[in-house]
Amino acid sequence: MDYRTQANDTMSSIAAKFHVSLAELEAANPQIANPELIFPNEVVHVPMASGQHPTLVPPHVVTYIVQPGDIKSGIAAAHGLSEAALEAANPQIPNPNLIVPGQVINIPGGGGHGQPQQAHADDHPPAPSGEGRLAIDEVTYALFHGGGDVTSWITDACAVLGLPAGKWIAGYETLCQRESSGRANAINTTDSNAHGPLQSDGWPLHCSRGVAQCIPDTFARYHAAGTSTSIYEPVANIAASMRYVMSVYGVVSDGSNLTQRVQQADSHQVPQGY
């Protein structure tokens, strides 16, 4: 049977969970180069013991890795699901009202077109719709070799999203300079996100990438319809980042509170990741 790893799993704990020896589990998973180092959302093959029945993990199952601040109802709403449907798809979570960052949640039906939860109800920002959302395995990694600069990319991202560019430009110029020095093909291979299976660009899945330094999970969830599926394409990268800060930080559609809500976008404050 196949098992999709969760936060805090180890090969030893998985072996104990399924009553197989650690040696058997390691032998069944030669694709894991270092059994001492596994990450959420990896697929581990568990050798079948007598009397067990296989439970297959679909190769293209849509999953979501819980982010800080997520709650069950917000995840359900963001993917167009009822809470009951989300719970039924995740029997591995004993208490669905207690989820932690790093847990892997199955999204039945590939996710819908619901509304992401808003982080700051007092502003009532228009939450980005689910239109354009990708499954994590639909994200691509072609490097960007086109033209333009950060200002033009921000302007184009605003046009794609139907937002006025004025208040967004200065904030995102600051954010992109701090995140990537304005480089479309920037990748962070050293922070806490830099883990997971290698992708076609040769780097681990969860590395932050692109001019606004999106991780693929965020890029997929907040991908803007009509933009490239490549995380390095700067307009797509910035548009996904803008949808993310509107949903998670409560930035309003005209960007007028961007620097108040996202310190990384405020040139008058010290840098702080977002």
pLDDT value, residue 90: 79
Q: Identity (one letter) of the amino acid at 148?
A: G
Lowest mean per-residue pLDDT among 20-24, 46-50, 143-147: 46-50
pLDDT band at 58 (very low <50, low <70, confident <90, very high): very low
Residues 6+ apart with CB under 8 A from 72: 83, 86, 87, 96, 97, 99
Q: What is the mean pLDDT of residues 211-238?
A: 94
Q: Do domains 2-45 and 63-110 have the same CATH topology?
A: yes
Average of per-residue pLDDT across 215-228: 92
In this prediction, residue 169 has a pLDDT band, given cuts at 50, 70 and 90, of very high
Whether the full predicted model's pTM is greater than 0.85, yes or no, is: no
CATH fold group of domain 136-265: Lysozyme (1.10.530)
Is the per-residue pLDDT at 24 higher than 70?
Answer: yes
When the pLDDT of each residue in the chain is averaged and rounded to a whole number, the result is: 81
Q: What is the helix (H) or strand (E) element at residue 135, kind and residue range?
A: none
CATH number of 63-110: 3.10.350.10
Predicted confidence band of residue 241 (pLDDT cuts 50, 70, 90) = very high
Distance CA 203, CA 139 (A): 14
Rounded distance between C-alpha atoms, residue 233 and residue 141, angstroms: 9
- Identify the CATH assignment for 2-45 out of 3.40.50.150, 3.10.350.10, 3.40.50.12500, 3.40.50.800: 3.10.350.10
Would you list the domain boundaries of the chain?
2-45, 63-110, 136-265
- Residue 11: helix, strand or coil by DSSP? helix
Structure token pair of residue 48: 């079948």
Residues with Cβ < 8 Å from 15, sequence gap 6 or more?
A: 21, 22, 24, 25
What per-residue confidence (pLDDT) applies to 56? 42
